[in-house]
Amino acid sequence: MVEAKNRGATVIHVDPRFTRTSALADLHVPLRAGSDIAFLGGIINHVLSNDLAFLDYVVAFTNAATLVSDEFRDTEDLDGLFSGFDPQTRSYDTRTWQYAGMEQTPEETRGSSEQAREHAAGHEFGGHGAPLGGEVPPSDPTLQHPRCVYQILKRHFARYTPEVVEQVCGVPRELFARVCDAWTRNSGHDRTTALVYSVGWTQHTTGVQTIRAGAILQLLLGNMGRPGGGVMALRGHASIQGSTDIPTLYDLLPGYLPMPHAATHPGLPEYVDSLTGSRTKGFWANARAYTVSLLKAYFGDAARPDNDFCFDHLPRISGDHGTYQQVLSMIDGRIKGYFLLGQNPAVGSAHGKAQRLGMANLDWLVVRDLTLIESATFWKDGPEVATGEISPETCRTEVFFLPAASHVEKEGTFTQTQRLLQWREKAVDPPGEATSDLWFFYHLGRRLKEKLAASADPRDTPVADLTWDYPTHGRHAEPDAHAVLKEINGYDVTSGRLLSTFTQMRGDGTTSGGCWIYTGVYADGVNQAARRTPAGEQGPTALEWGWAWPANRRILYNRASADPAGRPWSERKAYVWWDETRGEWTGADIPDVEKTKPPSYRPPADATGPAGLSGADPFIMQSDGKGWLYAPHGLLDGPLPTHYEPAESPVRNPLYTQQANPVRQVYPRVENPANPSPPEGGSDVFPYVFTTSRLTEHHTAGGMSRYVPYLAELQPELFIEVSPALARERGLAHLEWAHLVTARAAVEARVVVTDRLAPLRVEGGWCTRSASRTTGATEA
């Protein structure tokens, strides 16, 4: 942020609280928590009603011109619901949301959003949404047709006037106007604006749609795929991006391939077909190559064409196996054992009490961590021991604590938010018996394989078939992390040569690769992630610092930085462009388009895969190559974002009868009560909104900071920040104690009264706000 300011950027910070970020920003815009869609909707409306969109870009690169089914009905027509809602299942039939003429596309895998919500949370189609059929939907490049996406957008967002923004968000009109003005004026041919978000958005029940709203705005203003633009998720843990790429999520395989589902993916052909459709365009068309290469990496020689490359060895998901469902299953005694690595749910996860009760009802629990965290000791010192809900004598869970090596005590990569892989060297040996997680899983697997070596039970064959042959070194027989990265990169099975790009992957078993999007990280046998060419010795895109997936590309969809004819939109914002004389794409980055595909290329009617996309289409992972202002597929709660109140909001939705996101996932259980929200009765029992936020001095649940004296002394206690107005209202005094009570729990915290929390005026009264937390306290 300071770097950006030094280069002349204007930084606007939108946050209910005045934070350390606000302190450095040019403008701080406080808004009511959970009202961002209304805020962004207001800006979108400002853009659309004042004709401020970057029309050349929008028409050419987005689906603005595409016509949508005439059966589609908007929330504006249905008082907060889109067409296709089934109140019985609280889910949408998405048929009417489709492009015109595609309503009938038979997609039995798609089904209703209920099924999707209950088992795959939108990841069913990998990271890209569902494929479209082969046809090209009708469109109106003049953007005048009433059913074109642009006009639908215009109607949908017309409601979000500055007055409504003020009413819903508490942002005064003139302040809002400054934001609109700054954003639009800094977008266009010559300028771009970046949008950065993190958990202030993602942790809401409306999080995905808020991000969608941001993406719509950025597309309308031509800020995608261009330098200085984009929608940036500032991701959390050091390699949290890496743990989605090579996922720790139950419903994904590496490279955003979905985890096969018991019902819909009986075998490899069905699985691949569900990803590619019959005539899919774009790079997902090669899903078979990615899947088969992954299976080769898992099962090596055992993966053969005649056994579908051991596809059946993969586990199948059968429902919601997400973390919250699992906790409930633990409480119900349906889960017996739990490996806990690098997470401290007793402190950090929502509804900590349920987490602890769940973990207290296991046969065994393995915790690998740097210190003896609360998730390993809850059975003897958790709050439930004091209340008698957990008794150390009778708690049935056997806890195994294993000391883990920290990131400085082992080598490997971090993948950060920009998809950049950076190799870390090991700085020091781990203390005592601490070992790396790689060591743990490798030797666990090795021992399991040994134990099962003699087994003839077919259910043990997946383990037997696993390739498990990493070279080891050192005192603890540490597996070689380079070997793992090479396996992920992929290689030609016959020659053993490392692949340099995923386009070399084949679906016939001749290539192996652990994560297709990472292919190239070991190109030419060189650990590209370990490159550290200093900034001064290379160009502004720093292509020789680490390695970004895919293909070391620093800005995704960067073909959009050139106009449809392949010329930069402006000199100032030139990034990649078509070099007519050499007949190829060139520029400061790796072009995100086939290098020699001319801008003038138009696909033949029956072309599929990458060849099915025109030379003017930048969004090559989308099946139509367009940026989706309107999302006919892939989202379960609507093709467009619209303002709902967050779950448990004490405020009545000022826009619709529909209070909250109608299809949001809920876990209605006695262990999991929710604060009532209007129009529900009793909603005045919990009249205050409190949000949590990080303190720089601590890290998440605090296992790495609360136990470090130098950090703990900097923020030694849990505290709650309240505005002077709220303090007066509740009789709270600076540095005294307050009780925070929710339907689920109560905690005590020291009170800090501060002007950084300012009351906002929203419809029907003042909104005094409070916020809290230090030392990784969660919503207990």
- 180-199 residues in contact with ligand MGD (CB under 6 A) are 198-199
CB of 722 to another protein, least distance (A): 12
Nearest to 83 by CA among 67, 72, 69, 98: 72
Task: Choose among 521, 531, 554, 3: nearest CA to 232.
Answer: 554
Chosen from Mo ion, another protein, ligand MGD, none, partner binding at 41 (C-beta under 5 to 8 Å by type): none
Using CA atoms, how far apart are residues 467 and 301, in angstroms rounded to an integer?
8
Q: Two tokens at 302?
A: 């055992």
Picking from 139, 21, 53, the residue whose alpha carbon sits closest to that of residue 626 is 139
| x/- map, 76-95, another protein, by CB under 8 A | --------------------
Binding part of the chain for another protein, among 22-30, 44-52, 217-225, 381-389 by CB under 8 A, reads 22-30
33 contributes a contact to ligand MGD by CB under 6 A: yes
Please count the other Cβ atoms lying within 10 Å of the Cβ belonging to residue 496: 8
- Smallest gap, in angstroms, from Cβ of residue 16 to ligand MGD? 5
534 binds another protein (CB under 8 A): no
Between the CA of residue 314 and those of 118, 143, 262, 271, 322, what are the distances in Å?
21, 47, 10, 12, 18
Write phi, then psi, for 495 (nearest 5 degrees).
-90, -20
Closest contact distance (angstroms) between CB of 166 and ligand MGD is 16
Q: Is the CB of residue 476 less than 8 Å from the CB of residue 435?
A: yes
Integer angstrom CA distances of residue 256 from 125, 129, 268, 294, 640: 8, 11, 16, 12, 23
Binding mask 494-533 for ligand MGD (x = CB under 6 A): ----------------------------------------
**Residue 340, both tokens:** 């806990």
- Residue 758 interacts with, from ligand MGD, another protein, Mo ion, none (CB under 5-8 Å by kind): another protein
E strand or H helix at 577: strand 576-579
Q: Which does 22 bind (CB under 5 to 8 A by kind): Mo ion, another protein, ligand MGD, none?
A: another protein
Show contacts with another protein in window 694-733 (CB under 8 A). Answer: 695-697, 709-717, 719
In the bound state with ligand MGD, the residue whose beta carbon lies nearer, of 55 and 233, is: 233
301-360 binders of ligand MGD (CB under 6 A): 341-345, 348-349
Residue whose C-alpha is closest to residue 497's, from 519, 471, 475, 465: 519
- What is the rounded CA–CA span in Å between residue 517 and residue 248? 16
- Picked from ligand MGD, another protein, Mo ion, none, the partner binding residue 685 (CB below 5 to 8 A depending on kind) is none
Distance CA 652, CA 525 (A): 60
- Asked if residue 724 binds Mo ion (CB under 5 A), the reply is no
Q: Minimum Å distance from CB 779 to ligand MGD?
A: 5
CA-based nearest residue to 254, from 54, 502, 31 = 502
Q: Which residue number, 408 or 666, has a Cβ lying nearer to ligand MGD?
A: 408
Among 101, 138, 172, 236, indicate the residue that binds Mo ion (CB under 5 A): 236
Stretch that binds ligand MGD, among 147-155, 230-238, 246-254, 559-567 (CB under 6 A): 230-238
Smallest distance from the beta carbon of 236 to Mo ion, in angstroms?
3
Q: How far is it, in rounded angstroms, from Cα 586 to Cα 579?
A: 6
User: Using CB under 6 A, which of 437, 480, 492, 648 touches ligand MGD?
Assistant: 437
Residue 348, binding choice from ligand MGD, Mo ion, another protein, none, Cβ under 5 to 8 Å by partner class? ligand MGD
In the complex with Mo ion, the residue whose CB is nearer, 236 or 759, is: 236
Would you say 654 and 165 are in contact if contact means Cβ atoms under 8 Å apart?
no
Comparing CA positions, the residue from 711, 710, 777 lying closest to residue 750 is 777
Phi/psi for 694 (5° steps) reads -80, 155
Measured CA to CA, the distance from residue 683 to residue 635 in angstroms comes to 30
Per partner kind, with CB cut-offs from 5 to 8 A, the member of Mo ion, another protein, ligand MGD, none near residue 4 is: none
Q: Tell the residue number behind the tokens 């106007």, with chain if given.
A: 177
Give SS3 for 210.
helix
Binding site partner of 666, from another protein, Mo ion, ligand MGD, none, Cβ cut-off 5-8 A by kind: none
Question: Residue 225: which of 611, 575, 539 has the closest Cα?
Answer: 575
Would you tell me which residues interact with Mo ion (CB under 5 A)? 236
Site for ligand MGD, rule CB under 6 A: 14-17, 19, 33-34, 36, 198-200, 204, 234, 236-237, 341-345, 348-349, 368-371, 373, 404, 406-407, 437, 691-694, 696, 698-704, 771, 778-779
Where along the sequence are the contacts to another protein (CB under 8 A)?
A: 1-2, 5, 18, 20-24, 26-28, 695-697, 709-717, 719, 734-735, 750, 752, 754-756, 758
